[in-house]
Amino acid sequence: MAHISSDEVLENVRKASVYYQEIMLQLMQNSSMQIPTSFYDNEKSQEIASKVVEQFFEHPEKFTHINLTYIKELQNLIADSVAKFTGGKSEDPKGQEPFFDKRFKDPAWGQSIYFDFIRKYYMLSADWMKNTVRQYDLDIDGKRFLEFTANQFIDALSPSNFLFSNPEVIRESLESGMSNIAKGMQNFLDDIKKSGGLINISTTDKSSFHIGKNLATTKGKVVFQNELIQLICYKPKEKTHAMPLFILPPWINKYYILDLSENNSMIKFLVDNNFQVFLVSWINPSKKLAHKKFEDYLQEGVIQPLEFIKTLGFDKVNALGYCIGGTLLSIALSYYKSLRHPEHKDRPAARDNNIINSATFLTTLVDFANPGEIGALINKSTIDYIEKQVTEAGYLDGKYLSNSFSLIRANDLVWSYFVNNYLLGKSPAAFDILYWNSDGTNLPATMYIYYLKNMYIDNLLKNPDALEMLGVKINMTNVDVPSFSLAAKSDHIALWQSVYDGVKLFRGDRTFCLTDAGHVAGVVNPPISKKYSHRLSNKIENNSNDWFSNATLHEGSWWNSWREWLVARSGKLQKSMNYKALPMIEEAPGSYVRG
């Protein structure tokens, strides 16, 4: 270890102090960095607090066993730690068991009596709090909010998040003469200045990525555009399958999650496997598009580009929708099917009612009965506040939604970077998925509020004819084309059981696939990575657990199984379209994705 002089230590402490003062000044001057009290200090929060206190005093027996167990386990932990300290033998049966929490990967958490006690005391207290919260009898929204709040509190108080209780941080501070703390303060200040509002912790080295240079580089061109989308046609191989693939990414984020670096680009994978690919690139809307409705996304994001594709000589397409893009695809399928009814025979789009040959849904919710942990933030109690804020701005700022999703996995996406950037004073590594995740997209106010109220909160999409788009009643039981639906086992945004419940609403030939990992890593899983197995079955059981028990386990990426499924529905290989003759607005990735 290099010798650190006292002058160097004092200089680092001085720097940290200066940065700290400027940080506090920034926080006090910028009101947008503060969480509005109206979001949590509302009638629902007061009702939950009242019920919690009432139930605790009315039924103390519900909590007695939990508290007695906690006290007994704490006494055992203290006795065991004292025995270890005095050279005695550990009586803790779990003392030598391995632990796999990434927060405690440093060897000192197990080797040091002090840090071992801190870790176990924290885990013991966390379990006590979770068990206590489970005892309260609340409605669904109340229970989600209480559990979410408790989990945020537990995650924030992890000893790994504090200077004097994290062995790695202490060791780094001693070895560097506190330069890590000075650098961490500087990183914190930089993030505050870059954020301009709600603080965004840097999760990747943004300087390492450039759209069109090392992201979204698959060759293609924009061949059609309107106010909401640019349609990209990718340069095909010499031969392609007769039926092209039309892709609807989520407009909550930018499309290039499907075209990241060369080794994990789904678009490149499809082109290399002889598919003609068309993809929708959504605009990043400003206030001038605040009026755009959900049905505008149907009209401009699906109907118009499909009409254009048809002018190129393709009578049918296979379609893919990811996340909310899949929700829109399911609506489009119902819409087209309803156009077959005689009352709609004179509508221009009626002639295209058979254009979608098959549908692939990636982590798509259609039944929103259980939206997962995000339901703690989006519910009947918070919708008035959300609507007021979004309506005033004209759009939802993409970074707020990104931060909300990060809180669902706070240990991985918030606190791990808090420790790395601010306590260890390091810079985050370059990671393409996290760069994409930080490249937020706004949502038009009218569309967003409609989506929250009618789908997330009232769950009307699953009810036949409860919603209407472009003058047509929407009914999910109309969706009868062959479908391949993917869910991810560790997805916190679209729970796999909820995705499965939506698939049960469809008819026709249905295949359900469950991959490992989460909402993004589970989808972006190229065969070359040899990560994550998947389960597959075309027998849709009434219960998701029954499906899981009967589905076939496959090693490796789900992309391979899906490719086989798609090939069987895409027609024979034939000479590709005359790509060179296509009119071009601009080269891919286009201008909308850069907004």
CA-CA-CA-CA torsion for 450, 454, 456, 461, nearest 10 degrees? -120
What angle (nearest 5°) sits at the alpha carbon of residue 21, between those of residues 19 and 25?
A: 115
Judge contact between 358 and 319, C-beta under 8 A: yes
Residue 112 has pLDDT above 90, yes or no: yes
Residue 1's pLDDT is what?
52
- Mean pLDDT is highest, among 125-134, 270-279, 395-404, 427-436, for 270-279
How far is it, in rounded angstroms, from Cα 174 to Cα 3?
Answer: 10
Judge contact between 482 and 435, C-beta under 8 A: no
Residue 129's pLDDT is what?
94
- Give the pLDDT band (50/70/90) at residue 468: very high
Peptide bond into 285 cis (omega under 30): no
pLDDT: is 39 or 401 the higher one? 401
- Across the range 81-102, mean pLDDT stands at 71
Task: Copy the structure tokens of residue 309.
Answer: 């594709």
- Amino acid of residue 410: A
Query: What counts of helices (H) and strands (E) characterise the chain?
Result: 22, 17
- Across the range 224-253, mean pLDDT stands at 97
- Interacting residues of 566 by C-beta distance below 8 A, sequence separation 6+: 245, 275, 318, 358, 360, 484
How far is it, in rounded angstroms, from Cα 182 to Cα 426?
Answer: 11
Q: Could you read off the pLDDT of 160-206 as tens digits, one per residue?
A: 999 999 999 999 999 999 999 999 999 999 998 887 666 789 999 99
Residue 358 has pLDDT above 80, yes or no: yes
Residue 347's pLDDT is what?
64
Helices (H), 90-229: 108-111, 113-134, 140-156, 167-176, 179-195
How far is it, in rounded angstroms, from Cα 445 to Cα 289?
Answer: 8
- Across the range 458-464, mean pLDDT stands at 96
- Give the pLDDT band (50/70/90) at residue 404: confident
Looking at residue 256, what DSSP letter applies?
G
Residue 582's pLDDT is what?
95
Residue 560 has pLDDT above 90, yes or no: yes
- Across the range 393-407, mean pLDDT stands at 85
Residue 294 CB neighbour total at 10 angstroms:
21
CA-closest candidate to residue 297, choices 262, 252, 340: 252
Residue 99's pLDDT is what?
64
- Across the range 547-565, mean pLDDT stands at 97
Residue 303's pLDDT is what?
96
Residue 98's pLDDT is what?
53
Helices (H), 1-107: 6-29, 37-40, 43-58, 61-85
Residue 354's pLDDT is what?
82
Residue 228's pLDDT is what?
98
Q: Could you read off the pLDDT of 10-37 as tens digits, one per residue?
A: 999 999 899 889 988 888 777 555 555 5
- Across the range 430-435, mean pLDDT stands at 92
What angle (nearest 5°) sits at the alpha carbon of residue 518, between those of residues 512 and 524?
A: 80
Mean pLDDT of the chain: 91
- 233 belongs to the catalytic site: no
Least confident of 212-216, 375-379, 414-418: 375-379
How far is it, in rounded angstroms, from Cα 407 to Cα 414?
Answer: 7
Of the candidates 123, 257, 323, 472, the residue annotated as catalytic is 323
- Mean pLDDT is highest, among 143-152, 223-232, 345-354, for 223-232
- Give the pLDDT band (50/70/90) at residue 345: low
Residue with tokens 């499309």: 255
- Across the range 290-301, mean pLDDT stands at 98
Percent of all residues in the chain with a pLDDT value above 70, rounded to a whole number: 93
Q: Could you read off the pLDDT of 298-319 as tens digits, one per residue?
A: 999 999 999 999 999 999 999 9
C-alpha dist (Å) from residue 107 to 49, 88, 91, 101, 102: 40, 21, 21, 12, 11
- Across the range 548-553, mean pLDDT stands at 97
What is the b/e burial string over 311-343, where b = at least 16 CB atoms within 10 angstroms of the residue's CB?
ebebebbbbbbbbbbbbbbbbbbbbbbbbeeee
Residue 116's pLDDT is what?
93
- Give the pLDDT band (50/70/90) at residue 291: very high
